[in-house]
Amino acid sequence: MLAMTSRSIIGLPHQRSFDDLGTPLHDVTFCIIDLETTGGDRNNDMITEIGAVKVRGGECLGTFQTLVNPGRAIPPQITVLTGLSDVLVSGAPRIEAVLATLIDFVGDSVIVGHNVGFDVGFLRAACTRAERPPLAGTIVDTVALARRLVRDEVPNCKLGTLASRFRLDHQPSHRALDDALATADLLHLLIERAAGLGVVGLDDLVVLSKLAGHPQAGKLRMTADLPRTPGVYMFRGHRDEILYVGKATNLRQRVRSYFGSDDRRKIGPMLRETQSVAHLDLPDALTAEVIESRMISRLLPRYNRAGTRADKYCYVKLDVDSAWPRLSVVKNPSAKGLHLGPLPSRTMAHLVVEAIQTAVPLRRCTVRMGRGYTPPEGAPVCSAAQLGVALCPCSGTADPTAYASAVDAAAQALAGDPRVVVDRLRDRMLDLADAQRFEEAAATRDRLSALLGAVRRHLLVDALRTAERAEVSFGDSTWIIDRGRLLDATRGGAIGRALPIPPPDVCATDVLSREQIDEALCLARFCDKRADRLVVRCSGTWNFPIGDRVPDLAALSVRAA
């Protein structure tokens, strides 16, 4: 009952991994599968016949065909449709005896079918019942491809209709192998049609099969010349204005994905406005991320929500030059005082302030107090001081020594050493949890998390800036970084070329500007994550990785025995 034929299968080169989605279609091995079953319920109905065809580059490499004993009666209507009867399949093997051979035949091929979800669903259910790993791999549905490519030429996209209208070499007959052969013919026809939309690789075909009736699918032609290399892409509108900027490790694959599964609300309107897609070839993904950041900050594309985020950045300031320093959130750093930031939002900045104020009793009032400040007679004690969570110098009740100690702890936290503040917050959080005051414990945890995140950002950027000018190599890529700015990038020893968007000016202050933080963090996180694998030469001090200088929140949430 089991039949396999082959044409020179032995000695064929091993199919390349489809993680490399740019595999040219003529190099892809497809396995077209069709099943006959006792009904349409994958959990209760059973397989009665399997047919499969393996093809590559238009050539049939082999076929697989077998009847399967379903272990139950075949309904009369199925017998009428397929010609398969209980008598015909009674001597056939059970599906458990067939699966291993079928899976070996499929191998690492791309699985194809007409309404392939039906066939794959039945096979996966059979694998589950047989306690085998489920059938996996890249899947392409010829129904979806037909709806995208030839729907206007046919009354429907049934396999029989398509085979008849396009005069395929094989005609379906509701028998598994015949239907698989007809589907293979259809696949080749659809691949030829898809070439007109710039579909030349497996990734293109997979995306196209998911488009179905995407209203902007015709604009796929704009992506035909995009390379499968790292870079930055730009969607342009009617007046050639840049609507959106993005980065990609594979430009072609990323841009084409917008026409498929990307269902973000802004994507539809953006694609309707798009008239062209431009790109910049870049040597690596890190450089692409940096250039994307520069372009967004300078061009402010309408569909980049992140394009205006620098305007929302702010700093936490401790005015250490005043008589009684206090914390505040400021838009721009000043020449005096200690600053932490820039931070991505006022929400985060206020959480950092609350974290420090929870741990150390800095004043919370906004009364101006110079060096010669004398509290007025009968000045009231502020509410925070009455609750015992702050000192109150404006009423004359604060001890200068105790206040100086609180200022020192806060200054250390802003400078990247938050140990005193963190220890006190951790103890408070755990005490509140033990007392079952869970909402207060959660609020303390959020403040602690914000503080740890802000300090980590500070240490990352500080480590990059103290390196001064650095030549950083990873694999065959090399980057020239100067005080938080990317100056040049090369790959494979190629001669360096100027980056398409020049770096920002050197920041002359100790505090990084709001416009420079994204690029500096991008570079710093890269260096920190791969610190043990980088080859570095620098004119300053190399402090990566920052390691455990910032405690882990999860570890802090466990009380020591």
> Which residues are catalytically annotated?
174
Starting at the earlier edge strand, list the strands of the sheet with 314-318.
327-330, 314-318, 338-343
Compute the distance between CA of residue 38 and CA of residue 29 in angstroms, rounded to an integer.
30
Listed residue (284, 285, 278) closest to 225, CA to CA: 278
**138 φ, ψ to 5°?**
-70, 140
- Bridging pattern class, strands 110-113 and 29-37: parallel
At 223, list the tokens.
């992506």
List Cα–Cα distances, 357 to 215, 425, 523, 549, in angstroms: 54, 10, 32, 21
Q: How far is CA 155 from CA 114, 149, 150, 307, 556, in A?
A: 17, 13, 10, 47, 65
Peptide bond into 342 cis (omega under 30): yes
Could you give the CA distance from residue 288 to residue 280 in angstroms, rounded to a whole number? 9
The interaxial angle of helices 400-414 and 346-359, nearest 10 deg, is 140
CB of 279 closer than 8 Å to CB of 251: yes
Beta strands in 19-148 (DSSP E): 29-37, 47-56, 59-67, 110-113, 139-141
How far from the centroid of its chain's Cα atoms is residue 308's Cα?
A: 21
Distance separating alpha carbons of residues 430 and 441, to the nearest angstrom: 7
- Residue matched to tokens 């690596």: 284
Please answer whether residues 334 and 300 qualify as being in contact, where contact means their C-beta atoms are separated by less than 8 angstroms: no
- Return the CA Rg of the chain: 33
Give the angle subtended at the CA of 201 by the CAs of 196 and 203, to the nearest 5°: 110
The C-alpha atoms of residue 425 and residue 448 are separated, in whole angstroms, by: 7
Distance, CA of 313 to chain centre: 24
